[in-house]
A and B are shown apart, each in its own frame.
Chain A
Amino acid sequence: MDLIGISLNHRTASVELRESLSLSNTEIVELISTLKQSLLKEGLVISTCNRTEIIGVASSQNVSFDDLINALLNFKKVDGINSESFEKYKSVKIIEHLFRLVAGIDSMLIGDNQIFKQVKDAFQIADEQNFIGFYFKKIMDYSLHLGKRVITETAISEGAVTVSFAAVQLIEKIFSNLSKKSALVIGTGETGEIAAKHLRDRGVARLALTNRTFEKAERLAKELNTAVFPFDNFKDHLHKFDIIVSATGSQDFILSKSDIEKTIKKRNYESLVIVDIAVPRDVDPDCRNIENVFYNDIDSLNIIVEQNLLKRRNEIPKVEKIISEELNNFSDWLNSLQVSPIIKALRDKFESIRSEEVQNNINKFSSEDKEKLEIITKKIINKILHHPTVELKKFVNDNSTQDLNRMKLSVIQELFGINTIKEQEKN
Chain B
Amino acid sequence: MISTIHLLNVLLPIFYFITFLIYLYDFQKEDKTLSNSKRLFLFITLCVHLLYIILRTIAFDHMPITNVFEIFTLLAFSISFSYFILELVTDIRGTGMFIIILSIAFQTVSSFFIKDLFFVREELRSNLLGTHVFSALLGYAGITISAVYGFLFLMLYNQLKQNKFGILFDRLPNLEILEKLCFYSAVIGFILLTIAIVIGVIWLPQSNLNFSYTDPKLLGTLAIWIIYGIGIFRKIYGKLRGRKLVIVSIIGFILAIGSTIISNFLAKSFHSFY
Contact = CB atoms under 8 A, between A and B. Distances in A.
B161 A271 contact: no
Contacts of B243: 291-292
A118 to B, nearest CB: 27
Nearest to A273: B160
A270 interface: yes
B241 A270 contact: yes
Interface of chain A, main secondary structure: loop
A268 B161 CA distance: 19
B148 to A, nearest CB: 19
A300 interface: yes
Interface string A272-309: 00000000000000001001101010011001100100
B174 A268 contact: no
Given A271-B242, A291-B243, A176 B163 contact: no
B165 A292 contact: no
Nearest to A153: B32
Given A288-B161, A303-B163, A175 B174 contact: yes
Contacts of B160: 170, 173-174, 294
Contacts, number: 45
A27 interface: no
A134 B180 CA distance: 57
Nearest to B239: A268
A296 B175 contact: no
Contacts of A348: none
A173 B175 contact: yes
B184 to A, nearest CB: 13
A300 B238 contact: no
Contacts of A292: 241-243
Contact of A269 (B173, B180, B241): B241
Nearest to A311: B170
Interface residues of B, number: 16
B268 to A, nearest CB: 43
B89 to A, nearest CB: 15
B245 to A, nearest CB: 11
Given A269-B242, A292-B243, A176 B165 contact: no
B211 interface: no
A186 to B, nearest CB: 21
B174 A172 contact: yes
Interface string B130-164: 00000000000000000000000000100011010
Contacts of B177: 176
Contact of B175 (A174, A299, A303): A174
Interface string A72-100: 00000000000000000000000000000
Contact of A300 (B163, B174, B176): B163
B252 to A, nearest CB: 21
A269 B165 CA distance: 24
Interface string B177-213: 1001000000000000000000000000000000000
Interface string A253-279: 000000000000000111100000000
Interface of B: 156, 160-161, 163, 165, 169, 173-177, 180, 238, 241-243
Interface of A: 170, 172-177, 268-271, 288, 291-292, 294, 296, 299-300, 303-304, 307
Given A291-B243, A296-B163, 17 more contacts: A173-B169, A174-B175, A175-B174, A176-B173, A176-B174, A176-B180, A268-B238, A269-B242, A270-B242, A271-B175, A271-B242, A291-B242, A292-B243, A294-B160, A294-B161, A303-B165, A304-B165
7 contacts: A174-B176, A175-B176, A176-B180, A269-B241, A270-B241, A271-B176, A291-B242
